[in-house]
Amino acid sequence: MEAVLEKPATGTAYSAIVQKQRDYFWTHATKPAAFRKKQLNKLKAAFAKHESSLLAALKADLNKPAQEAFTTEIGITVAEIEHYLRHLDDWMEPERVSTPLFFQPGTSMIMPEPYGVTLIIAPWNYPVKNLFGPLLGAIAAGNTAVVKPSEISPNCSKAIADLIKDTFDPEYIVSIEGGVPETTELLKERFDYLLFTGGTEIGRIVYQAAAKHLTPVTLELGGKSPCIVDTNINMDVAAKRLVWGKFQNAGQTCIAPDYIYVNNKIKDKFLGRVKHYIGEFFGDADKPSDDLGRIISDRHFQRVSKMLTGDILVGGVTDASQRYIAPTIIDNVTNDHPAMQEEIFGPVMPVLGYDSFDEVINHINAGERPLAMYLFSNDSKLKKRLMNETSSGAICVNETMVHAGQPNLPFGGVGNSGIGAYNGKLGFDTFSHQKPVMVRSFLGDVAQKYPPYTSGKLSFIKMASKFLLR
């Protein structure tokens, strides 16, 4: 069977794919550390072999500059592979835990074991990183995997499918290309774990489909991630980092700073520096820059273009033929502005002024919990308030988006922005069932636990229960 289905498959064909993977999993071939490391090394070699085709696909679908594409998609994934290879032996070791006196003599441990056949559904905005990032966890944990690239980035979907086909046997890892019909059919199958990255509404559909089989899930979704700019900052560094994070991938990033709260005492001056760095990074808004990505589709272009209204300080220029939207700052927005109604996912920066940090906290807590939250400030009290008085998938202080590349931190949301997390050790844990194991000796058998029950036995159990968890 081919590793990539060239035509839409029937449910029967998908059932056969999943069954072959399940049969292969139960040969236990995927479980030894040597096998897992071999597959990770094969994937690392595949990235070197297919780098040019991946870069070309990212350019064709999203106009990603080579440096941005390598840094945020390919280079970071290869670095993660090396991280997994360095730590996998330790992660696979069962964790010994203490055994309370009541259960002695005996030993207890938590043993990570693979779930089995996993499904990874990837998005279009970071089509390489957000497919292979979760896949690394599935491989390291000893699972098989069906991966589904997004049809919205078709060149990347094809390049990924070619890499998978060239590297792995389909009973181990297989890529399924296609759109909604293919995904719908896949979701009818019973998988042992499912990870989806995408929008919240589609996430609900995926969650409902998984529930029919009681399949555990991780949902990486999105939301409006706020960025707060205090007065106590290095203004130039803050402005550069904000522009870099907001307009990377033309703003089509789930953890991009979505809207900006700036203290009114410095707002005009700060926005002046933001405007300066937009010009320094991307040039004249009337001339589309090769260093700025393009909107993925005509539909998304039209959606984001409708947000270009109000007090536009810079940008607002569009070119439908290229799906180009210039980096745009919209000042003095209100909550009813079009850019405040949904996650922007485009190069549009709505700005609100604030006088009191309380009003910012209250506004954030009145909405859904975001995937990320940003604060530029050297004020330790404000940092603590944001950490303790709000809820979000992550907080990043004096920087944007880089927390997602830190392999020792989980990446995930909360509430509407997601369920569960992955990244590094958390990726391994996500795709592993933490199986408790207790081994007891035949010595020290307690006669009082067995029927027939008596008042004397009950008295002994009541006394012994005081020592149960010591």
The enclosing domain of 68 has a CATH number of 3.40.605.10
Looking at the fold, whether 377 and 295 belong to one and the same domain comes out as: yes
Per-residue model confidence as pLDDT tens digits over 226-265: 999 999 999 999 999 999 999 999 999 999 999 999 999 9
Lowest pLDDT segment from 31-40, 53-62, 69-78, 284-293: 284-293
> Mean pLDDT lowest for which of 11-20, 181-190, 303-312?
11-20
Is residue 3 in some structural domain?
Answer: no
Query: Do the Cβ atoms of 44 and 82 come closer than 8 Å?
Result: yes
Q: Write down the pLDDT at residue 247.
A: 98
Distance CA 165, CA 168 (A): 6
Give yes or no: residues 216 and 230 share one domain: no
Q: Say whether pLDDT at 3 is over 70.
A: no
Residues 266 and 376 in one domain: yes
Contact 414, 364 (CB under 8 A): no
- Residue holding tokens 């069906």? 146
Query: 461: exposed, middle or buried (C-beta count within 10 Å: 0-12, 13-18, 19+)?
Result: middle
5 lies in some domain = no
Q: What is the CATH number of the domain that holds 336?
A: 3.40.309.10
pLDDT in tens, 147-156: 999 999 999 9
Same domain, 215 and 231: no
Average pLDDT rounded to a whole number, residues 106-127: 97
Does 97 have pLDDT greater than 50? yes
Structure-token match 């839409």, residue found: 8
Is 468 part of a structural domain of the chain?
A: no
Q: Confirm whether 452 is domain-assigned.
A: no
Tell me what the mean pLDDT of segment 86-97 comes to: 98
**Residue in the structure block whose two tokens are 């029919």:** 212
Report yes or no: 115 and 216 within 8 Å, Cβ to Cβ.
yes
CB-CB contact of 129 with 76 (8 Å): yes
H or E, element range at 36: helix 33-62
Let me know whether 63 and 164 are in one domain. yes
Q: Could you give the number of structural domains in the chain?
A: 2
Average pLDDT over residues 50-55: 98
d(CA 113, CA 393): 27
Q: Please report where in the chains the tokens 């033929």 appear, as a residue.
A: 321
Mean pLDDT of 62-83: 97
Rounded mean pLDDT, 310-332: 97
* Phi, psi (degrees; rounded to nearest 5) at 115: -70, -45
The token duo for 138 is: 């599935």
Mean pLDDT of the chain, nearest integer: 95
Domain extent, residue 372, equals: 226-412
pLDDT confidence of residue 10: 52
Residues designated catalytic: 220, 254
Residues 33 and 177 in one domain: yes
Classify residue 447: in a domain, yes or no: no
Q: Which of 12, 47, 15, 32 is nearest to 128 (CA)?
A: 47
- Please tell me the pTM assigned to this model: 0.94
CA 269 to chain centre: 34
Per-residue confidence at 103, pLDDT binned at 50, 70, 90?
Answer: confident
Share of the chain above pLDDT 90, in %: 91
**Per-residue model confidence (pLDDT) at position 345:** 97
Question: Would you list the DSSP string of 153-165?
Answer: SHHHHHHHHHHHH
Are both 66 and 110 inside the same structural domain? yes
Within this chain, do residues 48 and 151 fall inside the same structural domain, yes or no?
yes
For residue 210 the two structure tokens come to 């998984």
Closest CA to 171 of 190, 193, 143: 143
Beta-carbon contacts of 61 under 8 Å, excluding residues fewer than 6 positions away, are 124, 127, 153, 154, 155, 156, 296
Helix (H, G, I), strand (E, B) or coil at 213: coil
Contact 122, 73 (CB under 8 A): no
Residues 78 and 208 in one domain: yes
Contact call for residues 21 and 174 (beta carbons, < 8 A): yes
DSSP 151: T
Tell me the three state secondary structure of residue 300.
helix
Is 201 part of a structural domain of the chain?
yes
Give the Cα separation of 176 and 4 in Å (integer). 6
Least confident window among 3-12, 39-48, 458-467: 3-12
Is 345 within the bounds of a domain?
yes
List all residues 6 or more positions away from 41 whose beta carbon is below 8 Å from its beta carbon: 81, 85
Least confident of 52-66, 266-280, 367-381, 436-450: 436-450
Alpha-carbon span 378 to 190, nearest angstrom: 50
- According to DSSP, residue 78 is labeled H
Q: What is the pLDDT of residue 2?
A: 34
Tell me whether strands 324-325 and 348-354 are parallel, antiparallel or unpaired.
unpaired
Shared-domain flag, residues 265 and 351: yes
Place of tokens 């009950």: 458
Residues 169 and 47 in one domain: yes
- How far is Cα 314 from Cα 319, in angstroms, rounded to an integer? 16
Domain identity same for 292 and 319: yes
pLDDT at 467: 74
| pLDDT one-digit tens code per residue, 16-35 | 999 999 999 999 999 999 99
Taking every pair of C-alpha atoms in the chain, what is the biggest distance, in angstroms? 89
The reply to whether 460 falls in a domain is no
Assigned token pair, 190: 């019973």
The three-state secondary structure class of 397 is: strand
Confidence of residue 383 (pLDDT cuts 50, 70, 90): very high
